[in-house]
Structure 1
Amino acid sequence: MSSAELDALALGARHLLAGKYFQLAAFVMLIYDHMLTLSDEVDKIWSRKFSGVTILFLLNRYVTPLQFIIILDAFHDPRWTKYACSHFAIFEGASTVALIAICQSIMILRVYALYRRSLYILIFLMVLWGAQIVTSAVGLHTGFMVALPPVLTGCILTGDSPIFPLVWVGPLVTDTIIFGLTVWRTRMYLLTSRKTHTIHVFIRDGAAYFLVIFMANLINTLFFFLADSDLKAIGASFSQLITAVMVSRIVLNLRSSNSWKQFGDTSAGASLGSRNERREKGRSLQPSFLTRTICDLEDSEDAEGSEGRVQVDDVGKDSTDKSTIPLSSMSIRRKLDSIPCDV
């Protein structure tokens, strides 16, 4: 073997080792965060009634590490043949695209709840979500397994096509639009009422999610254009795992918020009376409305079609001072009845 071939082999071995360390470190981060938040998960997820978002949360929470165990085995087990690796590399990318899509569906439901179950917002975001999956799949289709010398072990997905970065650009665009819609909607609450703890958590987690995921996907894109061929997709798994961690934290933080504990026990059949009374009581009703929008879908679903009266705490006053709001205005009732609140 010539000196040039030995140098190339040594460089490939270093790149492979860097990829394996990066994968292992990302997996340790995921498991460590899982251990830190397990008690919150039992308290806030398992002890409550199951819903659609609960299922999405658990898929993100448990399918992701199971998938990654297989990926780690493929990275280190020499029994994986080249034929198996060539097919597994596509599975690795496809499962990553699918699990990121699950995470983003939770974020979409979050925005859908914030916009009072707006059908237009839901349709727009679902079309965007579908376009992201299609573009990511198109980029993934151009990927292939890194060719390694026989002495090196590892099933690694990479690509050299100009459209391969669509795997990360698609989620980047979706996250940017979701964050923009979140900021646009929450600014209305900040301008018209005092900032409750739930709003603070909503904005803080949304901003943190966007910044972290944006940077992860941006780094992946830069790696593709600047790194060697066997390092182009080195950060793909980290991007997926940090997305899973951030989404889990968002759901748990909202369900743990003090605002939910304080106001989440209000009657689920909440509606307003006349328009004049709504303006007078709007300030005190705000926390209960927002809480029902974000944190208690199960109750609001049970309340669909219900009629009656609701007691709402007047924020900032003595907790014994309560207002009873009669049900009379059907036009306003439609806005507040059956508001989703699942994340």
Structure 2
Amino acid sequence: MTPADASQDASGLLLLDYLHLLGITILFWDHIITLDNEIKSLWTRRGKHSLSGYWFFVNRTFAFTTGVAVAGFPFFGFGYETCRNYSLFREFALVVSQAITGVIMIVRVYALYGRDKRILWFLLGVGGCVVGVSVWSATAGQTGSRAELEGGCHFDLNTAAAHRLAGSWESLFAFDLLVFGMTLRIARKQSLAGMNLHRLIVRDGALYFGIIALANLVNIMTYYVDSQSIRPASLTTFANCMSATMTSRLLLNLHEEADTGVLTLPPDQTDTSIAFATVEQGAEEEV
């Protein structure tokens, strides 16, 4: 390796570390600046016992704890086996984190469509396919596909492994696109005049899709770029942290508008029905 190649390789690793830190910093900083709103909107209200409240805490807690676990690990040099185990844990945490986000999106759309079981089973089927692709891309054919890099606990990916891992993010992007399209469809079918909470759902859904889709698309591109300066999966941590952060914001905004985060009105009263509202009502009726 020439001095120029070594310098370029070091620059690529440094950029990888910086992007990793950027994602973790955004996640932790958002926890700090929204903690007061979380306490007011959830901890001191009935919202913490609602369906949306439970999923908010699951998403928030899992993202924070796994974020702490992986925050500084890449910056230290460990043995091959230790770094390999860290890499596997990180990929497992990514799959679980995206699965949590997917469940929240599924229940949200299911509620918007008036507890239509066909919508629920359709989305669960699509979500199951996304999880299957993610697990396959993270585990299939990975033996011998990684070589440890200098300058911390990093692994390089060969072309086949990089393209395979890109598949999980591509399937996730397709799922986000589907959810966004279904949200727009229900918005077009109903007049939004005077529906402040419904407008909030559509607005947050569009904002969520715009930010997350952009982060995911850029991350997907890194898996296909053949460059020493841009490593495959350079934006994986950033994209995952943005997804967890935006999902938390989506649910927090919902609870700031509604005291409990859910309304227990029948599905046909769409002028005030919001995400999780009809789901919660259905659970109460079954009880």
> Which bin holds the TM-score, normalised by the shorter protein?
0.7 to 0.9
1:323 is matched with none
8 Å contact kept, 1:145–1:155 = no
**SS of structure 2 residue aligned to 1:232:** coil
Aligned partner letter, 1:95: A
1:308-341 per-residue CA deviation (whole Å, 9 max, x = no partner) reads: xxxxxxxxxxxxxxxxxxxxxxxxxxxxxx9xxx
8 Å contact kept, 2:180–2:205 = yes
1:181-232 per-residue CA deviation (whole Å, 9 max, x = no partner) reads: 1111121122xx5242112211111111111111111111211112436701
The structure with higher relative contact order (CA 8 Å, sep 6+) is 2
Aligned partner letter, 2:236: A
Q: Structure 1-normalised TM-score?
A: 0.73
Structure 1: 4+ residue segments shifted above 6 A: 262-265
2:271 is matched with 287
2:26 is matched with 29
- Give, in whole Å, the separation in 2 of the partners of 1:60 and 1:94: 15
2:41 is matched with 44
8 Å contact kept, 1:85–1:145 = no
1:81 is matched with 79
Q: How does 1:192-341 map to 2 (within 5 A)?
A: 194-228=193-227, 231-257=231-257, 260=258, 268=264, 286-288=270-272, 290-291=273-274, 294-295=276-277, 298=280, 301-302=283-284, 304=285
Q: Percent identity?
A: 24
Shift of the 170–147 alpha-carbon distance from structure 1 to 2, 3 Å rule, reads: same
- Please identify the structure whose Cα radius of gyration is greater: 1
Shift of the 263–60 alpha-carbon distance from structure 1 to 2, 3 Å rule, reads: closer
2:62 is matched with 63
- Give, in whole Å, the separation in 2 of the partners of 1:264 and 1:63: 23
Shift of the 301–137 alpha-carbon distance from structure 1 to 2, 3 Å rule, reads: closer
2:164 is matched with 163
8 Å contact kept, 2:130–2:172 = yes
Shift of the 301–17 alpha-carbon distance from structure 1 to 2, 3 Å rule, reads: same
Query: Which residues of structure 2 form unaligned runs of 5+?
Result: none
- Give, in whole Å, the separation in 2 of the partners of 1:124 and 1:29: 33
Aligned partner letter, 2:14: L
**SS of structure 1 residue aligned to 2:223:** helix
Q: How does 1:76-225 map to 2 (within 5 A)?
A: 76-78=75-77, 80-141=78-139, 142-143=141-142, 144-149=145-150, 152-156=151-155, 158-161=157-160, 162-190=163-191, 194-225=193-224
Query: Once the 2 structures are TM-superposed, how far is the Cα of residue 164 of structure 1 from its aligned partner?
Result: 2.3
8 Å contact kept, 1:139–1:167 = yes
**SS of structure 1 residue aligned to 2:224:** helix
- Give, in whole Å, the separation in 2 of the partners of 1:121 and 1:296: 14
Query: Once the 2 structures are TM-superposed, how far is the Cα of residue 154 of structure 1 from its aligned partner?
Result: 2.2
Say how many residue pairs are matched: 279
Query: Which residues of structure 1 form unaligned runs of 5+?
Result: 273-281, 306-337, 339-343
